[in-house]
Amino acid sequence: MNDSFIQINGISKHFGNVKAVDDVSFQIKEGEFFSLLGPSGCGKTTLLRLLAGFEYPTSGNLLLDGSDITALPPDKRPTNMVFQNYAIFPHINVEKNVQFGLRKLGLTNDEIAKRVKDVLSLVKLEGYEERYSSQLSGGQRQRVALARALVRQPKVLLLDEPLGALDKKLRDEMQLELRTLQKEIGITFVFVTHDQQEAISMSDRVAVMSEGKIQQMSSPNELYKNPQNIFVSDFIGETNFLKAKTDSKDGEYINVNIEDLGSFKIKNNLNISENASDVICSVRPETMMIDKEKSDWDICLEGKIKQTSYLGEMTKFYVETKEIEKIITVSSQYFDNQSFQNGKCFISINLNDISLLNKK
Partner 1 sequence: MEQKNNTLLIYTLLYFAFLYIPVLFLPIFSFNDANYMSFPLSGFTTEHYEEMWAKTNLHKALWASIKVGVVASVVSTTIALFAAKAFARYKFRGQNISYGAIMIPFLIPEIILAVAILVIWLSLGFKLGLVPVTLGHILFCTPFAMLILIARIEGFDFSLEEASRDLGENAWGTFYRVSLPLYLPGIIASLLLSFIISFDEFVLAFFLTGSDATLPMYMWAQMRFIQKLPHVLALGAVIIVFTTFIVLLAFWLRNLGQGKEKAEFGIKIHE
Binding residues for partner 1, rule: CB under 8 A, are 52-54, 73-75, 79-81, 83-85, 87, 89-92, 100-101, 103-105, 132-134, 148-149, 152
Pick 14 or 267: Cβ nearer partner 1? 14
- What residues have CB less than 8 Å from 285, skipping those under 6 apart? 238, 239, 240, 316, 329, 330, 331
Q: Are residues 266 and 356 in contact, defined by beta-carbon separation less than 8 angstroms? A: yes
Pick 16 or 312: Cβ nearer partner 1? 16
Burial 308-337 (b: 16+ CB within 10 A, else e): beeeeeebbbebebeebeeebbbbbeebee
Please state the closest distance from residue 179 (CB atom) to partner 1, in A.
23
Pick 26 or 54: Cβ nearer partner 1? 54
Side chain identity, residue 125: L
Q: Are residues 298 and 349 in contact, defined by beta-carbon separation less than 8 angstroms? A: yes
Please report which helix (H) or strand (E) contains residue 214, including its range: strand 213-218
- What residues have CB less than 8 Å from 321, skipping those under 6 apart? 301, 302, 303, 304, 328, 347
Pick 109 or 338: Cβ nearer partner 1? 109
Please state the closest distance from residue 17 (CB atom) to partner 1, in A.
16
Pick 32 or 160: Cβ nearer partner 1? 160
Q: Are residues 233 and 226 in contact, defined by beta-carbon separation less than 8 angstroms? A: no
Please state the closest distance from residue 124 (CB atom) to partner 1, in A.
21
Please state the closest distance from residue 26 (CB atom) to partner 1, in A.
23
Pick 60 or 101: Cβ nearer partner 1? 101
Cα–Cα dist 311/331, whole Å: 10
Pick 51 or 301: Cβ nearer partner 1? 51
Side chain identity, residue 7: Q
Pick 54 or 297: Cβ nearer partner 1? 54
Alpha helices (H) along 21-137 = 44-52, 94-99, 109-122
Pick 69 or 254: Cβ nearer partner 1? 69
* DSSP string computed for 263-310: EEEEE-TT-PPTT-S-EEEEE-GGGSEEESS---SSEEEEEEEEEEEE
Distances (CA, A) of 317 to 262, 294, 301, 314: 24, 17, 14, 10
Please state the closest distance from residue 132 (CB atom) to partner 1, in A.
7
Please state the closest distance from residue 178 (CB atom) to partner 1, in A.
19
Q: How many CB atoms lie within 10 A of CB 291?
A: 17
Pick 127 or 312: Cβ nearer partner 1? 127
Please state the closest distance from residue 103 (CB atom) to partner 1, in A.
7
Cα–Cα dist 342/232, whole Å: 36
Please report which helix (H) or strand (E) contains residue 224, including its range: helix 220-225
Please state the closest distance from residue 171 (CB atom) to partner 1, in A.
21
How far the first Cα of the chain sits from its last, in Å, is 37
Please state the closest distance from residue 199 (CB atom) to partner 1, in A.
22
* DSSP string computed for 242-260: EEEEEEEEETTEEEEEETT
Please state the closest distance from residue 56 (CB atom) to partner 1, in A.
13
